[in-house]
Amino acid sequence: MKEHDNKITRKSFLKAATATAAVAALSTVFQPTLKAFAQTTGSKPKEPGQWKSTTCQGCTSWCSVQVYVVDGRAIKVRGNPNSKVNRGNCCSRCHMSLQQVYDPDRTKTPMKRTNPKKGRNEDPKFVPITWDEALDTIADKILELRKNKETHKYMLMRGRYSYMRDVLYDRMTKIIGSPNNISHSAICAEAEKFGPYYTEGLWSYRQYDVLNTRYIILWGADPLSANRQVSYYLSAWGDVLDHTQVAVVDPRFSASAAKAGEWMPIKPGQDGALAVGMAHILLTEGLWHKEFVGDFNDGVNKFIPGQTVNEEDFTEKYTSGLVKWWNIELKDKTPEWAAEKAGLPVKQIVQVATDFGKAAPRAICWVGGGPAMQVRGGYSSMAAHALNGLVGSVDNVGGTLAGNKEYTVSFPKPDDFMDDIAKKGKKHKKIDHRGRKEFPALKKGKPGSAVITNNAAEGILNEDPNEIKVAIAYMNNFTFSCPQTERWERALTKIPFLVHITTNASEFTHFADIVLPSVHHMFEKWGYVKSMGNGHRHVTLLEPVIKPVWDVHIDETEIPWLLAEKLAEKGFDNLQRHYREYKDPETGKSATTEKEFALYSLKYATHNLWDPAAHKGGDKFSGWEEFKKVGVWNSSSYPYRKRWGKMKTKTHKFEFYSETLKAALAAHAEKYKTTVDDILETCNYQARGEQAFVPHYEEPYLWGSEKEFPFIHVDYKSRLNREGRSANCPWYQEFKDLDPGDVAWDDVAKLNPIDAKKLGIKDGDNIKLISKTGQLECHAKLWEGVRPGTVAKCYGQGHWAYGRVAAKEYGKVARGGSNNEIIPADYDRLSGSTAFYAVTRVKVVKV
Amino acid sequence: MESLEHKNKTQLSEKKISRRNLLKAGGAGVAVLAGATTVSAKNKSKGKRLAMVIDLQHCTGCGGCAISCKSENNVQRGNRWAKVETTTVGKFPNVGFKSLPTLCNHCENAPCVKGCPTKAMHKGYGDITMHSPEKCIGCRTCIAMCPYGVISIHIQETHPHWRSDDALIKGCTSSPKEMTEKVKGNVIPNYNPAREEFREGSGLHYKGIVEKCTLCDHRVTKGLLPHCVISCPCNARIMGDLNDPDSHISKLLVKYSPRRLKEHLGTEPKVFYVREFNPSATKSTKGTV
Ligand code: SF4
């Protein structure tokens, strides 16, 4: 990967600057005259603080960062210059972490609910309790389940996590004896992985080789604003634009569209149509990449609109099923057909597809959550991603890449510590219904292997397959982050004993019986995460760079340890004995306190990275201390084209006809002794027969009739969202207008002026968005960056709890309205993903 | 060096007193003193003319500059030393959206300096347009004079929200004040003491006086880049000395066609904009008539 010239300049300048700092400071005429800061002694002013390495989890870029600490206080932040992924950069929302860690509304002590009634309008009447009382109560509830042999009625809900997650999420749940560890993954972007998996065998997000590419289609992705590797792409984009054309497919004008050459404001949900239409153009124009895909035996292009092609006439190289795909799906999908569906000009579609094809193989089709996180979105994800196969950019220079190898290890296995109760309990079915006939959830080709986060509410409410009696949740806020939130409010009300581990009293906390205050991940926690970008992978440490502000503990390690201690005290020591297996690789010692455990478990998992004797590749350190200081391990650079012919698909090739999906669907159908067509019908897909195995167009499935709900709601994420957690930062509100079309200190729904005029709505009017399943209130904003017939609204505002800034009145009145109040709970059932986009029809009413 | 330092110290404390007098009665004597400071400051920067080039092709409108500025300079809620101004142009589907990061232009011909009756607003190190809180009387002439709207006033005690005693959940969460006390901050918990190294009180600014970007004078005088420059993940902000023909910015200014804000006013801003926020390629055509 090439480094930037100006970057080098900046670094060397900084170096030189620091060296001369003292001299320069002395020669100034200004004098320190301070009160607290005793420079009056005549000593030279020097940087009094220290830059300490840690990790930002403001979004899933997971940048390695540094915090400037003076006298134990965090003052400011910057990117960690030691990372080859984010290269010393952090994005704008990283700075807001300061207002999170020092948020006055953080919970500073464990608390318990004293109002037994639960509900959105019930004040929980929290009172402070000691850690001992809190843990004691929780341990008793768990032991009661064990006594009654109903451990499957225990549930663990996980939101954002570090890779220490398995201590609490996996191991503790298993050793207690429950199948019900439910993660948030399906409300993230699992369907985005569906396309890459069923074409190239990669169940993962991708990294994009932007510095070497010539054409980028950002498809429902807004990398200059949100997710993933935002700070890397921010740093690279100015140079990217020197040599790369950019087209953006998005119904609303995004931050990335503002810097692109083409904006394709597609009709929501028509992504599959545009994708197959573009594939049709690439083939009819002969623009596929011959080196990757192969060619007709006689070199004459027989992809002629409407005409079937003989499979024997074409010899593929690293791909499989191209002609089948053409015959089954593409031959009739003309640009005119696609234009009609997508609501875009034919000319624009042809132009973008052609320029994209001409740039092959240095052409990236960057598939984000937009086209994927829809009902039936798995197939759009496949269709759009398949364009990368056609232009041969998969695993190629200037293309779409997988993750580099890294060498962290898993925690010890729990099996030996699971007694009969635990083993029996774990055998029960999961509360989210994965694997049922209507929920294939085909993660990595295995039916029933993906989580269906948002459906767990249904499971809890209907006691199906069983009731949930005791639940622990951490770093999540499902009553805010899951569509049709009201279901979660009822579900949480139903759980008799709910524990929330959190920094702020959120909408979820509102329903908790016990609240355990958590550390802030970036400033107070031990942990690690891995992420990729710039042709590298980094493993970056979360470190306690300051002492925890309050009496709080680490969610993923300290708290389970403390709980294990409590359980042992009361006679059940399996968990504690298991945790003692996570020995410090340096001394071989088991932990004796929660603090030791937090550290030893981290050293255990990252052992191969920092111990020179265990080194397997990438950066090498002299030992733990050095790793800790540097804060990040970098892999070696990307080995291009290594996966060509060795992809983890059934054919080991890039599959345009997915044998891999065919097998997965067949396995699921087999489980229910039925046909694949029946499964597709049950799961609300339109494909039948062979079409189910190729990337193809499916009509969007929207809730509500066009007549009653004339607008399509367009949801997207704010560039200031630290996931759902930053709305209580004053800087979030002050700078909300950094999101194109948005307004500071406000929550607006954006309407095209043409539509607004028809409705008699003006800028700033109070309006309601009403869908089939809910409604919200906010302000109107007339904006040209919105496709007529749609209403665009950013996710992030609408908190009615969380803190004094996030909510207009804490616990009572929301600031604006959350999109999840109007989005119905529906799914792309093949991946288990929750639908956020092209699923909600709304009407707009002036109030 | 030692004696010079000593002299300056005396000067500054004199000025401090002067400001207080001035607040009471206003005074002409101060102007003389301040003038002397200006000259010596200029001498000390050895003829540097610090300037910033903002490369709009690199800018993504992320706001890293404006938000990090608030953390570096302890800027209170509602005030901004740096901003990102945005405009939407065109009609659907032919839409453009542009971001323009702004800050004090550190004009060579600074109207705020000219208008300031007490020379609180003056030219300092590297020709930075500096503000001395101890001389400011809050008359707001500078605000009226500045054509760029980059100077803000403190009407009340600074950071009022952080002075509150209210806790959200009694006994379970803290009040803002309690949070700051707990971590030993100064009115705000993430208070940056470096901000006040050169001028008393400028860490938090005063009630009743103005404040603005000083190009992180507390950093640049030490040879450190301003925090907004460090924090710009896009490498859009480039600092340098206009008097140095070899500086990176001097080269950029020759290579591109720089623009400045409200050029016609003759303020001679030292913040230059080069290239386009959206430089994307379009198909060549001769158009139509
Ligand atoms: S918010 Fe995301 S992009 Fe920004 S610094 Fe944090 S991890 Fe990186």
Give a yes or no: residue B38 inside a domain. Answer: no
Nearest CA to A763 among A772, A753, A771? A753
Angle between helix B29-44 and B2-25 (nearest 10)? 150
What is the per-residue pLDDT for B45?
A: 57
Q: Taking 90 as the threshold, does the pLDDT of residue B19 lie above it?
A: no
CATH code of B263's domain: 3.30.70.20
- Tens digit of pLDDT for each residue in A655-684? 999 999 999 999 999 999 999 999 999 999
Give a yes or no: residue B29 inside a domain. Answer: no
Give a yes or no: residue B273 inside a domain. Answer: yes
With beta carbons under 8 A apart, name residues in chain A contacting B5.
26, 31, 42
Note whether A170 and A179 are within 8 A (CB). Answer: no
Q: Do B64 and A741 touch (CB under 8 A)?
A: no
Give helix then strand counts, H and E, for chain B: 9, 9
Q: Do B173 and A107 touch (CB under 8 A)?
A: yes
Tell me the average confidence (pLDDT) per consecutive run of 10 residues in chain A, 847 residues long.
37 36 29 30 60 97 97 97 97 98 98 98 98 98 98 98 98 98 92 97 97 98 93 98 97 97 98 98 98 98 98 98 98 98 98 98 97 97 98 98 98 98 98 97 95 96 98 97 97 98 98 98 98 97 98 98 98 98 98 98 98 98 98 98 98 98 98 98 98 98 98 97 96 97 97 98 98 98 98 97 98 97 97 96 97
Instruction: Report the C-alpha gap between A422 and A412 in whole angstroms.
Output: 17
What is the per-residue pLDDT for A602?
A: 98
Is A93 a pocket residue for ligand 1 (Cβ < 6 Å)? yes
* Contact residues for A754 (Cβ-Cβ < 8 A; gap 6+): A788, B92
Both tokens assigned to A717: 């994420």
Nearest CA to A240 among A206, A216, A218? A216
Domain assignment of residue B241, given as a range: 2-14+52-279
Give a yes or no: residue B24 inside a domain. Answer: no
Q: pLDDT > 70: what percent of chain B?
A: 81
Tell me whether A343 touches chain B (CB under 8 Å).
no
What is the per-residue pLDDT for B207?
A: 82
CA of A578 to the centre of ligand 1 (A): 34
DSSP A51-83: EEEEE--SSTT--EEEEEEETTEEEEEEE-TT-
What is the per-residue pLDDT for B284?
A: 82
Give a yes or no: residue B75 inside a domain. Answer: yes
Which residue lies with its CA nearest to atom 8 of ligand 1? A63
- The ipTM of this complex is 0.92
Tell me whether A542 touches chain B (CB under 8 Å).
no
- Tens digit of pLDDT for each residue in B184-217? 999 999 999 998 766 655 567 678 899 999 999 9
What is the per-residue pLDDT for A189?
A: 86
Question: Nearest Cβ partner of B61 from A104, A258, A786?
Answer: A258
Give a yes or no: residue B28 inside a domain. Answer: no
Note whether A313 and A322 are within 8 A (CB). Answer: no
Give a yes or no: residue B45 inside a domain. Answer: no
Nearest CA to A476 among A563, A555, A561? A555
Residues 80-109 of A with CB under 8 A from B: 89-96, 98-99, 102-109
Its pTM stands at 0.91
What is the per-residue pLDDT for A504?
A: 98
What is the per-residue pLDDT for B200?
A: 55
What is the per-residue pLDDT for A188?
A: 86
Q: Taking 50 as the threshold, does the pLDDT of residue B42 lie above it?
A: no
Nearest CA to B235 among B219, B222, B248, B250? B248
Give a yes or no: residue B32 inside a domain. Answer: no
Q: Taking 70 as the threshold, does the pLDDT of residue B15 lie above it?
A: no
B126: left (phi over 0), alpha (psi -120 to 50) or beta: left
What is the per-residue pLDDT for A22?
A: 30
Q: Do A260 and B280 touch (CB under 8 A)?
A: yes
Q: Which helix (H) or strand (E) holds A351?
A: helix A346-358
What is the per-residue pLDDT for A516?
A: 98
What is the per-residue pLDDT for A13?
A: 34
With beta carbons under 8 A apart, name residues in chain A contacting B13.
33
CA of A50 to the centre of ligand 1 (A): 21
Domain count, chain B: 1
What is the per-residue pLDDT for A48?
A: 81
Q: Taking 80 as the threshold, does the pLDDT of residue B102 lie above it?
A: yes
Q: Taking 90 as the threshold, does the pLDDT of residue B41 lie above it?
A: no
What is the per-residue pLDDT for B196?
A: 78
* Contact residues for A562 (Cβ-Cβ < 8 A; gap 6+): A131, A135, A553, A594
Is A226 a pocket residue for ligand 1 (Cβ < 6 Å)? no
Which residue lies with its CA nearest to atom 7 of ligand 1? A62
For chain A, the 3-state helix, strand and coil shares in percent, each to the nearest 5, are 35, 20, 45
